[in-house]
Structure 1
Amino acid sequence: MQRQAIIYPTADGEPMAETEMHLWAMVTTLLVLRTYLQTLAQEQQTPPAQEGTVLANQFLYYEQGNPKARVAPDVMVVPGVARGSRDSYKIWEEGQLPAVVFEMTSKSTQQDDQVKKKDIYARLGVLEYWLFDPKGEWIKNQLLGYRLIEGVYQPIIDACSTVLGLRLAVEGAVISFYRLDLGEKLLSPDELVRTRLQAEQRAVQAEQRAEVLAARLRELGIDPDA
């Protein structure tokens, strides 16, 4: 008798995030950390197969043969695996645990985030667990981090991720990240667009000033191209 294949669902029909604010915090964290991993890989000449990946709102299956043994982190950072997205993440296939997990929490998910998920992540061995409360509904300073020490999560006091090499800060309704080694801020998608537009504007202004100067020199009988 042929054994029926085990199905691991990739979705449960639930909304991706509780509010648009939570969604934006999730997406921003995903994109910023993906870019960061790619930057580190280039700096350290890490091959794509070991670059690591950042996944959002996907099932993390942690027990082979049991589709119910799953959790859906808002954002998880997995080092040492091939970059790119997955439909779901199965620990036994990838051979690597997530190192850091972020949950965009709220008053309605507080109990689940602080008890159920926290216990699962600790048992799995997730090194850092961060809770971000975009609306400030139950976390006073909006951000709460835990580091796994001897199998137990202990509060992170300095808001620094030793695993990622980043300092975390709350800026409005998103998490901002600063490199511990360089002190530089990792730019969000919005900030990258603004930075590019500002650079383009400065380039246009510099070109216009050069044209004005060249015209003035010609008026004085001086060839600016000579």
Structure 2
Amino acid sequence: MVTQLPSSTSKGIIYPESDGQPMADNTKQFELIVLIKKNLDLLFANDANVFVAGDLLWYPVEGDNTNRRAPDVMVIFGRPKGDRGSYKQWEEGNIPPQVVFEILSPSNTVKEMIVKYKFYEQYGVEEYYLYDPDKYELSGWLRSHDQLAEISQMTGWVSPRLGIRFELSDGELQIYRPDGQPFLTYLELAQQIEQTQLELAQERQRTEQERQRAEQAQSQLEALRTLLQAKGINPDEL
């Protein structure tokens, strides 16, 4: 996480906007975090009241600046998009993140992940997804009353909140949009846009060629009519 200047409230309590920890420990973890975050941005681009954040500190309790977590990705329904230095829940209509994602790295300990799980359970997360890219293990929990209950089968699971589907293909995590399209990397999205632009350009070229051929045929027809009329022949009577 990029270190930023701390913020404060009118009560003088400072809520730091950085925990001093890196966003990711390696390229694999970083790429997965970016993949999920950016594709969720695209998925909810037209909904002004869905806020998606990556590696943003979440403070659930006003007055307590030590009780905090920075999920790799979190999604909050009912809050507007926009820049934030941290997510202070009491300033956000007291709405907690409904969905959080964590991507394991080699430095994560079992104790650390248990603490995160308990935090998410205590403070109202509805869906919690955890993926280990080294072991190709995907786990998920869904809120049932006051607890996060483990989802027994994650392959083919569809998020109730997000509508996205999880699959494990050859051990690799694959996520699909509600329309069935897969989550794409930035490079894949750029290549897709480039291909679409190429196809549009080719279609415009074909349309222009058809227009030119039609104009040429019309010109030839008019020339023939003129020639027939010059010979005293009415082309409409032929």
TM-score after normalising by structure 2: 0.75
Alignment correspondent of 2:119: 120
Alignment correspondent of 1:26: 33
Alignment correspondent of 1:45: none
Alignment correspondent of 2:20: 13
Alignment correspondent of 1:154: 149
SS of the aligned residue for 1:116 comes to helix
For 1:19 and 1:76, how far apart are their aligned partners in 2? 20
Alignment correspondent of 1:72: 70
Alignment correspondent of 1:199: 196
Cα deviation, residue 174, structure 1: 5.8
Alignment correspondent of 1:102: 101
Residues 21-100 of structure 1 aligned to structure 2 (within 5 Å)? 21-39=28-46, 41=47, 48=48, 51-94=49-92, 95-100=94-99
For 1:225 and 1:192, how far apart are their aligned partners in 2? 46
1:54-103 Cα distance to aligned partner (Å, 9 max, x none) = 01111111121111011111110000011123110011111211000000
For 1:22 and 1:173, how far apart are their aligned partners in 2? 13
On the 8 A contact 1:25/1:173 being kept in 2, the answer is: no
- Higher RCO (C-alpha 8 Å, min separation 6): 1
Alignment correspondent of 2:232: none
SS of the aligned residue for 2:199 comes to helix
Task: Count how many residue pairs are aligned between Structure 1 and Structure 2.
Answer: 206
1:88-134 Cα distance to aligned partner (Å, 9 max, x none) = 00111112110000001134314145311001000111000000222
225 and 150 in structure 1: CA distance in 2 versus 1, 3 angstrom threshold: farther
Cα deviation, residue 27, structure 1: 1.3
For 2:220 and 2:182, how far apart are their aligned partners in 1? 41
Unpaired segments of 5 or more residues in structure 2? 1-9, 222-238
SS of the aligned residue for 2:13 comes to coil
Unpaired segments of 5 or more residues in structure 1? 42-47
For 2:173 and 2:143, how far apart are their aligned partners in 1? 24
For 1:142 and 1:80, how far apart are their aligned partners in 2? 31
SS of the aligned residue for 1:130 comes to strand
For 2:210 and 2:132, how far apart are their aligned partners in 1? 53
For 1:206 and 1:107, how far apart are their aligned partners in 2? 49
2:196 maps to a residue whose letter is: A
For 1:13 and 1:23, how far apart are their aligned partners in 2? 17
On the 8 A contact 2:174/2:183 being kept in 1, the answer is: no
Q: Which has the larger radius of gyration?
A: 2
For 2:220 and 2:78, how far apart are their aligned partners in 1? 54
